[in-house]
């Protein structure tokens, strides 16, 4: 079971800093598989410079449970990961970063926040929802092609569901499940944390699938993409149906 009994999940950040002082800038934590923790900016720079050498990722039971494997820019590996990363960087360069659509969205969100704050006349406010919605709108504009008003609950609810979906990653039940997936039978003893994570994860996935379905029905394959999903669908059609991007 490695270092699992030693982990203080309520103060993990503080514990990692203590271990850094004791063991050095790069440490290995076994939970039960080895997890490398880099705790130094200069070491991290070297890590990033040689990122291809460290691209390998373990196959996590939790990821197999939630999304049927290690997919996405963070968790995936090898040819699939590389092709996805190349495509994402291509789209961000040609469609996102530094282009009018993204800049206009950022400016619009900043203006909306400024207007909302002025209307408070100096009264205090918890900025969490406003900032989350503004940042979420920028991501949604790039990915899905639309935004919501700052007072909308949609972005905040979506974000909360995502956080609840990955709660199990930092829960003792999640650590047990990584040791052996048969430990899932113990989930009722932990207030059904795995079941709840799966339910929230399914909601998030369903929301994304709805957006993809809408885009499939409205995309113009002969025009410039409106957003990331359009770009993906256009590239998907361009390539051979057997290609990994499908």
Task: Let me know whether 89 and 211 are in one domain.
Answer: yes
What is the chain's pLDDT, residue by residue, as a tens digit (246 residues)? Answer: 788 788 887 788 899 999 999 999 999 998 777 888 999 999 999 888 887 777 666 677 887 888 765 444 444 455 666 777 778 777 777 765 566 778 889 999 999 999 999 999 989 999 999 999 999 999 999 999 999 999 999 999 999 999 998 888 878 888 888 878 898 999 999 999 999 999 999 999 999 999 999 999 999 999 989 999 999 999 889 886 555 444
Distance CA 175, CA 181 (A): 10
Query: What pLDDT is recorded for position 124?
Result: 93
Task: Let me know whether 79 and 8 are in one domain.
Answer: no
Task: Let me know whether 109 and 194 are in one domain.
Answer: yes
Distance CA 66, CA 197 (A): 8
> What letter does residue 94 receive in the DSSP assignment?
I
Task: Let me know whether 15 and 123 are in one domain.
Answer: no
Task: Let me know whether 211 and 92 are in one domain.
Answer: yes
Query: What pLDDT is recorded for position 79?
Result: 64
pLDDT in tens, 79-95: 666 777 778 777 777 76
Q: How many residues does the chain have?
A: 246
User: Which residues, in sequence order, are CB contacts of 35 under 8 Å at separation 6+?
Assistant: 28, 29
Distance CA 185, CA 102 (A): 46
Residue 139 placed within a domain: yes
Task: Let me know whether 49 and 69 are in one domain.
Answer: no
Task: Let me know whether 76 and 19 are in one domain.
Answer: no
Residue 244 placed within a domain: no
Residue 165 placed within a domain: yes
User: Which residues, in sequence order, are CB contacts of 91 under 8 Å at separation 6+?
Assistant: 225, 228, 231, 232
Residue 141 placed within a domain: yes
Give yes or no for a contact between 171 and 190, defined as CB atoms under 8 angstroms apart: yes
Task: Let me know whether 31 and 76 are in one domain.
Answer: no
Question: Which of 166, 162, 169 is closest to 139 using CA atoms?
Answer: 162
Residue 245 placed within a domain: no
Question: Which of 43, 48, 5, 10 is closest to 24 using CA atoms?
Answer: 43
Q: Which CATH number goes with the domain that contains 133? A: 1.10.630.10
Task: Let me know whether 120 and 209 are in one domain.
Answer: yes
Query: What pLDDT is recorded for position 241?
Result: 56
Task: Let me know whether 36 and 85 are in one domain.
Answer: no
Q: What residue numbers bound the domain in which 25 lies? A: 1-55
pTM confidence score: 0.73
Task: Let me know whether 85 and 194 are in one domain.
Answer: yes
Task: Let me know whether 49 and 89 are in one domain.
Answer: no
Asked which of 14, 34, 55 is the last residue of a domain, the reply is 55
Distance CA 5, CA 101 (A): 49
> What's the domain count of the chain?
2
Residue 101 placed within a domain: yes
Number of H helices, E strands in the chain: 10, 2
């Amino acid at each position: 079971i490695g270092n699992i009994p030693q982990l203080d999940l309520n103060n993990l950040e503080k514990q990692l800093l203590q271990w850094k002082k004791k063991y050095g800038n790069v440490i290995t934590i076994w939970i039960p598989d080895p997890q490398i923790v880099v705790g130094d900016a200069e070491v991290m720079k070297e890590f990033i410079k040689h990122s291809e050498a460290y691209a390998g990722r373990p196959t996590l039971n939790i990821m197999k449970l939630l999304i049927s494997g290690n997919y996405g820019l963070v968790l995936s590996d090898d040819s699939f990961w590389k092709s996805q990363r190349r495509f994402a960087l291509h789209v961000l360069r040609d469609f996102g970063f530094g282009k009018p659509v993204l800049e206009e969205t950022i400016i619009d969100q900043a203006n909306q926040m400024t207007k909302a704050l002025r209307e408070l006349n100096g009264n205090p406010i918890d900025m969490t929802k406003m900032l989350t919605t503004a940042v979420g709108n920028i991501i949604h504009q790039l990915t899905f092609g639309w935004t919501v008003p700052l007072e909308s609950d949609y972005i905040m609810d979506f974000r909360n569901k995502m956080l609840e979906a990955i709660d199990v990653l930092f829960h003792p039940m999640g650590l047990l499940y990584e040791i052996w997936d048969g430990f899932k039978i113990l989930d009722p003893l932990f207030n059904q944390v795995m079941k709840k994570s799966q339910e929230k994860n399914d909601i998030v996935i369903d929301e994304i699938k709805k957006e993809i379905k809408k885009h499939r029905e409205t995309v113009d394959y002969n025009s410039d993409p409106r957003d990331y999903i359009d770009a993906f669908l256009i590239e998907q059609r361009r390539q051979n149906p057997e290609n990994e991007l499908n």
